[in-house]
Amino acid sequence: MNGGSKPRDLEERTFEFAQSVRAFVKQLPRTVSNTEDIKQLVRASGSVAANWSEADEALSKKGFLMHVKICRKEAKESRLFLRLVDTGLAKNNAREALAAEARELPLIFSSIISKKRITASFLIS
């Protein structure tokens, strides 16, 4: 981590998640089903990082929330495809580490969404 502000830490964390997924899938057996699941996994994990970057630069609170909700959705999708891929015999530890991160990221994004909604309701009152 770069020791910067929290959004930058999350930017690095989502980037590292996407990068780790890419390293993981290079080791997977190439079967018909894995080929399709791997494509989806790579897209979803990259989308988490890309949408966090978009959220960080959003021009409005509404745009910010939209991109964070997409981050949450794509992290959940990553978790699904991590469960679906056939790891072969010895790669379950890597999958479990990535799955743990794919479980934590939606919780983080949900917390951010909740805090922004609470802040918005105070501003309206």
* Domain housing 47: 6-124
Q: What is the pTM of this model?
A: 0.85
Q: What is the CATH number of the domain that holds 63?
A: 1.20.1440.60
Residue 4: Cβ within 10 Å count: 10
Q: For the chain, how far is it from start to end, CA to CA, in angstroms?
A: 38
Q: Is 89 helix (H, G, I), strand (E, B) or coil?
A: coil
Residue 83: Cβ within 10 Å count: 11
Residue 102, classified by CB atoms within 10 Å of its CB into exposed (0-12), middle (13-18) or buried (19+), is buried
Does residue 29 fall inside a structural domain? Answer: yes
Q: Is 31 helix (H, G, I), strand (E, B) or coil?
A: coil
* Confidence (pLDDT) at 5: 47
* Confidence (pLDDT) at 3: 44
* Phi, psi dihedral angles at 28 (to 5 degrees): -80, 150
* Confidence (pLDDT) at 4: 45
10-residue mean pLDDT series, the chain (125 residues): 56 97 94 96 98 95 96 98 86 90 97 80 45
Number of folded domains in the chain?
Answer: 1
